Amino acid sequence: MSFDPVVRLAGAGRVHGDGPRAARSPLAALLAALRISRRDALRSRGRSALIVAMVGLPVLVITVTLTFAETADITPREGLTAQIGAADLRIWTLGGQRFPARDAGGEISWTEVPSSPAEIVSLLDHGARVIPANDGSVDFRGEDGYDHVAAHELDLRDPLTAGMYRLLRGRLPAAPGEIAVTPGTEERGAPLGTTPAVGPKKTPKRVVGVVEHPHRTRSAEIVGLPGTLLLDGRDGQGTGWLADTSQPITREDIRRLNAAGLGVRAPVVPEGSDGSNDCCWIVSPYDVEQLMAIGLAVVMSVLEVVLLAGPAFAVGLRRRRRELALIAAQGGAPGHLRMIVLADGVVLGGGAALLGLILGVGLGALAALLEAGRLIGGLGPLDIPWHPILTVTLLGAVSGITAAVVPAVQAARQDVAAVLGGRRSQARDRAGRPVLGLVLLVVGAAAAVFAVRFHPVWVLAAAVLAQLGLVALAPALVRIAASLATRLPLPVRLAARDASRHRGRTASAVAAVMTAAAAFTAMAVMTNSNFAVSRDSFQAALPEGIMRISGPDRDDARWTGIKAVAERMFPETPLIEAAEPLDITGTSIELAPLHFSDGGPYAGRSYSGGLPVGGRQLLELVQGRRDPVAAAALDAGKAVAFDPRLVRDGRMRLHVMAFTSEEYEVPDDLTVPAVVAEAADPQYAVGVLPASALHAIGLKTKADTLYIDPAGHLLDREREGKLERELAAAAGGSVDVFVQGGLGQGVLPQLALFLAAASVLVLGGTFAATGLAAADLRPDLATMAAVGAPPGTRRLVVAGQAGFIAGLGALVGALAGIATGIAAIWPVLGQARNVGGPTTPGGLPPFPGRAPTIEIPWLFLVALVVGLPVLAALLAGAFTRTRTTLTRRTG
């Protein structure tokens, strides 16, 4: 070992000679400490890689994410070329042939909107060149049927359009019967070389080229020559121009165009203009809750990194204690020893953060170069958000340095003579800050109870305060837990005793496990409770997977076409024709039942279309089984309900759910005769109304609804989209297609993800501390081997260390997480109970007579509190080296 840095460090704090030399001494000490830390980092590559990964990986991931998101986000200035090409500006009408204008006297008059190139040129300079650039949408029928896409009338051969689209295959349109399509339109049934029928007149247009928008890579568009795709644009809808002027565009030019009722897109934006050409968005500032949420995420991230990296720094300190003792023996002050260990945080933590920054920016730039934005359908120039990235890098460096603080304090307190003599250092770990921890825990718990009545983010803020209290209490918790292990088997007692003896290193790992367990348990409780509320309040009017098709209003010819399309798409599935309820005047309405107990609406969130109206076939479909008694009642004009609370004295009360702005008129008494039946799955069936019962109370019905059960061939997204396009083509407009959904897969995928993330953090912190414990236990393990202890016993001791750390941290963290999750979800559940839930039609109060649901994910907790500690113990015991070297113990 070269002691040159050590000698320089030992003398760095002393004053030799003149003032300038003394002033340079602290810097010399720092440089020497950094060199020592760099040398040790290269020598202990495994430990160094662990710390670099803990600190640098979050910085890398966040940097790549921010860079990718900023690059994919197209600002108005970045997207200007795609809108105006090589022209000086783009002009379009704002809608209508006339627009209101106010004169100097305040009088409003209607002015004709310019609609010809000559009028546009007159508003600019007379040397301007103007070409049409019209936007709109168009229907087409291609190989896969009917579709509706964006359409542009633009001569892409003109130099003014350079940059608006890029040609991928084929050539640009050169004749009225030719079009170019984007890849999105090509996938919808109009590939290169085909001749789809375009527009209301179904005019054949040959696809001669495939073009791509420079930023919207997934858009579905058609581009043709001016006057070939859209309807006559003289009504002011979609008419526009690209203009090339001989003089630069000024703000005064844009104001003049705005005053003529024209919208403008140009590099120059007029100051204070209220025209639609202002291409800017007002971004609302963060509210207090958002800032609090961001701050909490930062605090928890830094805390977790510090607690996880702390044991790794402690491992380095344990391996270097002889070197540090030599420095102290040669005159190094305790401050110098602290500086050396803190230099580890600077070298490893700062280096890891800087490495994460460099790699993150590099990967982000590579993603932009490889056009990775195609994955999300957006491309833009490389844009690096330096301010947030540098902030994240600084936080990573601070986390690494903070993680080295506790080992640095321990380094300054070690017994130099004991270490150089080969004995254990007599410096004992302190018992933490139990009083401070208890105060923080009590204050945090009280604040959480108080914050329950407010926003959940305030509950989480109070929980973080309580979590800091638990971190301060970690050494005391380790001592208490070790005292409870006196009746356990010998290997576990030895592990617990060693953990209690070295509370400084054990408490850091326990606190890391505790923090991770608390955070993920709270998220699991909130997620599970949210799902429980949705599950308990879920009440669908149709079985899951049933499709309902509602046709256009009272058009028999179009309704026949819709049924023909449905029969062609589902040749082996019976189509059940049903009715739609109408009010007295013939306006469409939707009907739902009321509880007789409290007069409130029936709890439900899937009432799209209201209660179905039909006959026996529809009843069997909704009920899920054959019921001759219920079918006979339906034939007799009685409604069939599947919940006894909806029927009293043989009557069902109805209320109107109107999802339309039209006025409706219904009788005062909306009660119909009803019977109660049993559904195969009551959660997916409310009731069925017969048309005759509605007629009896003065309502009307219209047979323009189909119910289909495609259970044998469930629709995927592509086939469902094709069905909607075909139905729209047959109806000559939009058709309402509704597929009854369900509760889905539940929360198991989310809980599994939480458990996986918790496992990484729990096992990482446990193994780091177990490695340090194993190093400290070498003399004890050697003594055990000397007195005849088998290798299995020595494995059990190390396994006991891992199980003790993971078990204590997971148990305490889970308890804290349960309390946090319940407190955080309670305000949301209280709002759902007292205010109309977002899924309840009409904003009416949901869950009548039902209290909020708190559901603990017990399976997740068992896996976390029992499974992870057992797994940690098994892995630690399996990978422990049983061969020991007998050493001489002195003192």
pLDDT tens per residue, range 679-731: 888 888 889 999 999 999 889 888 888 888 876 455 555 666 677 777 777 77
Q: Which of 3-7, 351-355, 668-672 has the lowest mean pLDDT?
A: 3-7
Yes or no: say if 133 and 118 are a contact pair by the CB < 8 Å rule. no
Gap between the Cα atoms of 532 and 535, Å rounded: 5
Yes or no: say if 399 and 351 are a contact pair by the CB < 8 Å rule. no
Task: Write the single-letter amino acid at 323.
Answer: E
Whole-number pLDDT of residue 552: 64
Whole-number pLDDT of residue 96: 52
DSSP annotation of 47: H
Gap between the Cα atoms of 323 and 411, Å rounded: 11
Comparing CA positions, the residue from 723, 632, 742, 637 lying closest to residue 677 is 632
Gap between the Cα atoms of 619 and 691, Å rounded: 12
Q: What is the percent of the chain with per-residue pLDDT over 70, rounded to a whole number?
A: 75
Work out the average pLDDT over 357-385. 71
Gap between the Cα atoms of 100 and 372, Å rounded: 46
Work out the average pLDDT over 172-188. 89
DSSP annotation of 624: S
**pLDDT class of 3 with cuts at 50, 70, 90:** very low
Whole-number pLDDT of residue 432: 60
What long-range pairs does 294-299 form, CB within 8 A, spacing at least 24?
296/457, 296/460, 296/461, 296/464, 298/395, 299/464
**What is the crossing angle of helices 25-43 and 334-344, to 10°?**
50
Lookup: tokens for 695: 């007629």
Yes or no: say if 574 and 614 are a contact pair by the CB < 8 Å rule. no
Work out the average pLDDT over 94-113. 57
The values of phi and psi at residue 93, to 5°, are -80, 150
The DSSP annotation for 718-770 comes to: HHHHHHHHHHHHHHTS--EEEE----TTTTHHHHHHHHHHHHHHHHHHHHHHH
Work out the average pLDDT over 233-241. 59
372, pLDDT greater than 80: no
Yes or no: say if 337 and 430 are a contact pair by the CB < 8 Å rule. no
**pLDDT class of 633 with cuts at 50, 70, 90:** very high
H or E element that contains 225: none
Whole-number pLDDT of residue 98: 54
Work out the average pLDDT over 510-538. 85
Gap between the Cα atoms of 388 and 494, Å rounded: 48
The residue with greater pLDDT, 680 or 125, is 680
Whole-number pLDDT of residue 58: 79
Gap between the Cα atoms of 465 and 447, Å rounded: 9
Whole-number pLDDT of residue 210: 92
Comparing CA positions, the residue from 73, 75, 68, 67 lying closest to residue 389 is 67
Whole-number pLDDT of residue 280: 34
Q: Which of 39-48, 212-221, 391-400 has the lowest mean pLDDT?
A: 39-48
Task: Write the single-letter amino acid at 676.
Answer: V
pLDDT per residue over 582-619, tens digit each? 888 888 888 888 876 554 555 444 455 688 998 899 99
Task: Write the single-letter amino acid at 250.
Answer: T
pLDDT per residue over 848-863, tens digit each? 344 457 888 999 999 9
20, pLDDT greater than 50: no
Mean pLDDT of the chain: 76
Gap between the Cα atoms of 82 and 378, Å rounded: 13
Work out the average pLDDT over 144-163. 85
Q: What does each C-alpha distance from 146 to 198, 552, 726 come to in angstroms?
A: 10, 17, 5
- Say whether 573 sits in a helix, a strand or coil: coil
Place of tokens 């003065």: 698
- Say whether 591 sits in a helix, a strand or coil: strand
Whole-number pLDDT of residue 860: 92
326, pLDDT greater than 90: no
DSSP annotation of 107: -
70, pLDDT greater than 70: yes
Place of tokens 């078990």: 807
166, pLDDT greater than 80: yes
Whole-number pLDDT of residue 21: 44
Q: Which of 19-23, 208-212, 401-405, 736-740 has the lowest mean pLDDT?
A: 19-23
pLDDT per residue over 277-317, tens digit each? 344 333 334 456 566 666 667 777 777 777 777 777 776 67
**pLDDT class of 12 with cuts at 50, 70, 90:** very low
Gap between the Cα atoms of 186 and 188, Å rounded: 5
